[in-house]
Structures are given as C-alpha cells and as structure tokens.
Amino acid sequence: MAASETAEFHGAFGVTPIGITPLRLTYVTVAICWLGILSEGYDVGVMGAVLPSLLDDPQWRLTPIMAGALGSYGVLGMLCGGLVIGTLSDLYGRKAMFLFCLALFSLCMGGAAWAPTPGWFGIFRFVGGLGLGGIIPIAAALTTEYSPPGRKSVFYGIMYSGYSLGILVAALVAIGLLPVAGWRGVVAVGLVPLLLLPIMAWLLPGSIEFLLAKRRFDDAAALAKRLGIALPASVGENPAPAVNWRDVLAEIFSRRNAFATTCFWIGLFMGLLMVYGLNTWLPQIMRKSGYELGSSLSFLAVFSLTAAIGGAVLGKIADRVGIRVTLVAAYVLGALGIAALTLKSSLLINYALVAVAGFGSVSASLILTSYLANYMAPFARTTGTGWALSFARIGALTGPLLGGYIAELPFGVTAEFFAFAAAGLIAAIAVWLIPAKKVA
C-alpha cells in the first residue's frame, strides 16, 4: 500500500501515529457508519415527508406552529445527545455508544408511530433525538480515524451521503406508503435498523485512538493486530497522562482554537437551520405554490438525492482544492439557488434549483463537520464535533419553527425562501473566517 495512505494521527498526550490503515478497514468502517447515518437521515426526513398528512389529521388538528414544534422536539433531543453522548464516547468508548444510539432512536421511531396524542409523539421524538445527537459525532470520529490522509473529506462525504439518502428514502416511502398506511406506517419503517444491529456490532471496529489516549496500550496493540494495523514499536514508551474530560474541553475552548470554534459553531448553526427548515417545510411550501402532494414530496426527493451525491462530489473537490474555499462557494451557491426559487419558473428549472439548494445546504454542512473533526486533536474529535453540533441543533430547532412562523404571516412563500437563503450567506462568511490550520 502506498505510503500516502498511511493514517497518521498526531494527537497530544502521547498519542502515537497508528500505522497503515488497510483500505478494506476503511471501507468496512465507512459502510457501517453510512448505515447508521442512513437510519438517522430517515428519522430526520420523515418529519418533512409526513408533515402535510399530520396537518390534515382530523384528530390532532395541528396548526403550522404546533407542527413546527413537533419537528423541533427531536432536534432538542439531539442537542442534549450531542453534548452528553459525544463526551461520553471520548471518555468511555465510541463503538458501544454508536450501537446504543442506533438502538435508541430506532425504538423511538416505533414509539412515535404508536403515539396516541401529539404529546406522546413529541416525547418519543425527544428521546430518540438523544440517540440521533450522538450518532453523528461518533461516526465522524470513526470515519476520520480510519480514512487515509489526503482522502478524508471524500470518504467522509461518502459516509455522510447516507444522511441525504435516508431523507430520500423517507420521501419515497411516504410517496408509496402514505396512501395505504398513513403517516404512522411511514414512521414505523424507522424500526428496520434494529434488524441490522447484530451485524453492525460484529463488523464495526473499536477506536485505537481512544485506547491510546486512555493509555490502554495492550488493548490498542491487540485491536491493531486484529484489524491488521502495525503499531510503531514506540507505542507505550514515555506515556503522558491519560486524557480526561478537562483536557478534552480545553482543546475545544483553548485560546488557540477559541475563534475557530466560534466560526465552526456559527457555520453549522446556520447550515442546520437551512437543512432542517427546508427538510420540514419544503413539501408544504411547494404545495402552497400550487403543486399536488405527490409532486411536493418529489421536490424533497430531489433535494435529498442531490445532497447525497453532492456530499461525495464536494468531498473530492475539497481534498483537491482546499476545504475552506470549497465550503464557502457551496454555501453561496446554495443561498442563490434557494433565493431563485422565489422566481416564477418551469417545473424543470425548479427541480434544478431545489437540487442546488440541497448541494449548498446539506452537502456543505456535512463536509463542514468533516473539516471540524480534522481540525480538532484526535482525542477530542467526538466531543468537539458533538458540542459544535449540539449548538448547531439550536439552528436546527429554529429552522422548523421559523418556517412555521413565517407560514402564518401574510408575506407568502417568498419570505421563507429569502430567510433560508440569508442563513446560507451567513454560514459562508463564518467558514471564510476560520483560521487556516494544517489538517491530516
């Protein structure tokens, strides 16, 4: 294997480069994380897919604000989950927390499908959100750990394409299942990942980075041998103190990283505001623009499919020309695409503009999390990503609520599109201000 594919991890506290990572291990890790993110994408996308049906439910009688609040309960759980589970995974292990998160939010999808009242629906969405909030930073850390340098962004983009494909699957399932099973049947499909849990537990590798940071050198050597990774002979010599939670938080908020942390947080806040706002309200906005429900859901499908393809494409571009300039261009392009949807255009042009919006919102935000995971030292990757995403969940909370608030104003759909476009421009500015730093 080429030396350029040597995975080097230069964390502090005596963490040693872990040696050559076989590409087969990269593929397995990325595939499993992709499945986890696909499940999460379905969970997130299902709200936008069933929202028109929820609003039409004669028993619940939801207003747009109430529906927006239901869309935000899960995001509130993600905020808490990212803070708590992200930190726990850096302190106690990434693999176990990944599997726990997957099981938790899948079970809660079943609970939401059963929910007899909007209150119960919101409770299950919140508890499931705890798992949703933890799965992304753990998948980010594992994918970054087991991806070769020079190709981290493209592998991350491939892994995170599962998020957009999950949203696409939610739209397609809704198109086929809503007429026969209603919104409850569409939500219940979220239980399927539980069937894959044993296979994922068998194949998913543990984290050598985590074991080295914890000074568990014998365990790290045993895991490396099983995975086919040759650890340098210097591992375990002159070890520094084991990493604790104070060290992890100091890395995130240290003077040298404080400004970058702020920029990452603002960029992700605005990015997720766009992603969740459009995921939740795009079908309803297009329905108000004169399209039938089936056609409105097809816009969500185009939005998601483009975002899935765009993640891998954007990752490859970022690896070649630089991640920061790539992200700035993507966010600006997405903002222009969203703003252009206010113009009267043909169906084909509107599909193209929705595709650009997906590329410049979902794709850009997922590559921004890759940038962040690489920016932080290895021992703080999961916590750094989890805390940033937890703050960004406030933006994700704001997106559905903002869409619901504007929907009740007399400005029409134009104001909703301009609001989400403005968020994209702010994200571009925040990313542009991130201080340059060499990343693996």
Question: For 39-73, what is each residue's pLDDT tens digit?
Answer: 888 887 787 778 778 887 778 877 777 877 777 78
Q: What mean pLDDT value characterizes the chain?
A: 78
pLDDT value of position 439: 44
pLDDT band at 22 (very low <50, low <70, confident <90, very high): low
CB atoms < 10 A from the CB of 55, how many? Answer: 16
Domain assignment present for residue 438? The answer is no
- Cα–Cα distances in angstroms (integers) from residue 383 to residues 176, 389, 405, in the given order: 39, 10, 33
Mean pLDDT confidence for 118-127? 89
What CATH number should be reported for the domain holding residue 413? 1.20.1250.20
**17-33 mean pLDDT:** 72
Q: For residue 437, tell me if it sits in a domain.
A: no
Mean pLDDT comparison of 69-78, 223-232, 386-395, highest-scoring range: 386-395
pLDDT at position 396: 76
Interatomic CA distance for residues 22 and 17, integer angstroms: 14
What are the tokens at 39? Answer: 């499940």
Which tens digit of pLDDT belongs to each residue from 208-266? Answer: 766 776 666 666 677 766 666 666 555 555 454 555 556 667 777 777 778 988 999 99
Q: Would you say residue 283 has pLDDT above 80?
A: no
| Burial (Cβ within 10 Å: 0-12, 13-18, ≥19) of residue 149 | middle
pLDDT score of 124: 92
* Separation CA 206–CA 223 (nearest Å): 8
* 330 located within any domain: yes
pLDDT at 327: 94
Per the structure, the count of domains in the chain is 1
CA atoms within 13 A on the CB side of 115: 25
The amino acid at residue 294 is G
Specify the amino acid at residue 153. S
Q: Which domain holds residue 298?
A: 3-432
Whether 100 is in a domain gets the answer yes
**Does 439 map to a domain?**
no
Task: Tell me the residue length of the chain.
Answer: 440
Give the alpha-carbon dihedral of 189, 175, 273, 347, to 10 degrees. 160
pLDDT of the residue at 429: 96
Task: For residue 44, tell me if it sits in a domain.
Answer: yes
pLDDT value of position 440? 42
User: Is residue 146 assigned to a domain?
Assistant: yes
**Is residue 182 scored above 70 in pLDDT?**
yes
Q: Which range (136-150, 189-203, 237-251) has the least confidence?
A: 237-251
Residue 172 lies in a domain: yes
Q: 219, 215, 218, 220: which is closest to 238 by C-alpha?
A: 215
